[in-house]
Amino acid sequence: MFKQMESYDTQRLHFCHDAETDLKAIIAIHSTGRGPAIGGCRFIPYSQENDAITDAIRLARGMSYKAALAGLPHGGAKSVLIMPEYDFDRAALMQSFGQFINTLNGEYITAMDSGTQVTDMDQISRTTRWVTCTSMSGDPSPYTALGVFEGIKASTKFKLGKDNLSGVHVSIQGLGHVGYEVARLLHQAGARLTVTDLDNERIKLCQQNFSAHAVDPDEIYKVNADVFCPCGLGAIINTQHIQQLKVAIIAGSANNQLAEDKHGDMLNDKGILYSPDYLINAGGLIFVALQYANQPHAIIKQKVLQIHHSLLQIYQEAERSNSSIHRIADQKAEAIISASEKLHSAA
């Protein structure tokens, strides 16, 4: 476990077991130099406890990078709750998790992630104030989608020299909270859409409302488009799919899109512009963090729109140094985090 913490620069791991509610929770804190560590709470079944620990460690670093590059006054963390195998009282479990968060005295602020909903955050808020994404604050997905839309605009400008999205062909994988809204914004901007989802109803909505062309889930990688926009699963950029891709740009919301770091290099070698996931999908985190800090809507929106500029900067830096984009983004995030950790420990 310590080896894994070392390779991901994890600062602290906190564990809690509450026999009464069957809560089995892990909170991984990656960094706190920039402020309280913020990151979602994942609530899914795990057959191996080690997998839950690995998820928490790996995802916490991603949150640090995301917060650092978005210029937010937060470090990164992730919590993982192992879903009980048998019947359990969900509300009681979430309230117990809130009490666990309290023991960290504000070091960690939780949010929604895979397997948790606004109603869970409402339960957590009954026992702690270190929680976002409650029904009082609203859904971050439209802000994530707005950031992705801006990211697609920045990417097509950089790679294709286009000043607008009229006629640009975008293939979208996953039409959920984020993907559907991205499709709406793209359609409004005059883009041509090819879409897929596991849920046929989501596809039908896009066909009816945005004149989208639909393909089967396995076919989406083979679509001859300008932009591939992954908004479903992580780890879909692997060797097999890279061989199939016929696009100039990958820009979408899914977390952890690269199956391994080497796949970012393979995209670079193939001349495909890759928009680092934790940069382009930061809109939701920006919304959550700034709303927690009681910032007005106009400021939140302005900050989300800045994703456009941040991406252009990273693309230009990668081009200047002849490096893969994901490596430049990692280095930049690590430099920001390490500078704030040093300042923090000197204070």
Residues marked as catalytic: 78
**99 near 25, Cβ under 8 Å?**
no
Output the smallest distance, CB 269 to ligand NAD, in A: 25
Rounded distance, CA 42 to CA 139, Å?
16
Output the smallest distance, CB 109 to ligand NAD, in A: 16
Output the smallest distance, CB 60 to ligand NAD, in A: 15
Output the smallest distance, CB 125 to ligand NAD, in A: 19
Q: Is 39 in the site for ligand NAD (CB under 6 A)?
A: no
The footprint of ligand NAD on this chain (CB under 6 A) covers a number of residues equal to 25
Other Cβ atoms less than 10 A from the Cβ of 146: the count is: 23
Q: Which is nearer to ligand NAD, 106 or 176 (CB)?
A: 176
Nearest CA-CA partner of 235 in 281, 295, 277 = 277
**76 near 64, Cβ under 8 Å?**
yes
> Can you tell me which of 9, 92, 176, 312 binds ligand NAD, judged by CB under 6 A?
176
Q: Is 174 in the site for ligand NAD (CB under 6 A)?
A: yes
Q: Which is nearer to ligand NAD, 63 or 273 (CB)?
A: 63
Q: Is 132 in the site for ligand NAD (CB under 6 A)?
A: no
* Subset of residues 53 to 72 that bind ligand NAD, contact rule: CB under 6 A: none
Output the smallest distance, CB 142 to ligand NAD, in A: 8
Q: Which is nearer to ligand NAD, 104 or 288 (CB)?
A: 288
Rounded distance, CA 236 to CA 241, Å?
7
Q: Which is nearer to ligand NAD, 64 or 255 (CB)?
A: 255
Q: Is 74 in the site for ligand NAD (CB under 6 A)?
A: no
Instruction: Tell me the window of 43-51, 140-148, 289-297, 324-332 that interacts with ligand NAD (CB under 6 A).
Output: 140-148
> Can you tell me which of 253, 268, 291, 324 binds ligand NAD, judged by CB under 6 A?
253
Nearest CA-CA partner of 82 in 122, 121, 48 = 48
Rounded distance, CA 74 to CA 66, Å?
10
Output the smallest distance, CB 284 to ligand NAD, in A: 3
- What would the two tokens of residue 310 be? 């941040």
Rounded distance, CA 272 to CA 266, Å?
9
Q: Which residues of 60-86 are buried (b: 16+ CB within 10 A; e: fewer)?
A: bbbbbbbbbbbebebbbbbbbbbbeee
* Subset of residues 191 to 250 that bind ligand NAD, contact rule: CB under 6 A: 196-199, 202, 217, 231-234
Nearest position to ligand NAD, beta carbon: 176
Helix H or strand E segment including 256:
none
Nearest CA-CA partner of 116 in 44, 56, 182, 64 = 44
Rounded distance, CA 175 to CA 209, Å?
13
Contacting positions for ligand NAD (CB under 6 A): 140-141, 144, 173-179, 196-199, 202, 217, 231-234, 253-255, 281, 284
